[in-house]
Structure 1
Amino acid sequence: MNLLYNAYFKCCNFVEDFRKKEEGQALSEYAIVIGVVAVIIIATLVLFRGALTNMFTRIITYMNGVT
């Protein structure tokens, strides 16, 4: 009977260790995705800096004229 319990606990420990390793892998995958998205956002802001500055300048000018 002890042999059966030992085998059961070894299997449970193996499954638990395997699950923990997958969580670490998923965490690193999410970190990579977040990093790529951040790079894309920064690159987009740099490329459209002039257009964004112009748009916000027009908005501020319009709001100053309204008040």
Structure 2
Amino acid sequence: CLMAVGAIPNTAGMGLEEAGVRLKDSGHILTDRVSRTSAPGVYAAGDVTGIFALASVAAMQGRIAMYH
């Protein structure tokens, strides 16, 4: 489980790109509509996606990922 909190992503040096997870130019993790990343079986939710840094949005992204 990976949790990232904050307005500025700190994804450098985590091995995400080596794992096949694509990042946006801003450093946020690139996801689709159901929180999937570019790496099979890897989902991202919350501030690290760069989509509305709100707890309610993060919770919904997590629930969506859980059902997919």
TM tier relative to shorter chain: under 0.3
TM-score by structure 2 length? Answer: 0.22
Greater helix fraction, Structure 1 or Structure 2: 1
Q: TM-score, normalised to structure 1's length?
A: 0.23
The structure showing larger relative contact order (alpha-carbon pairs under 8 Å, at least 6 residues apart) is 2
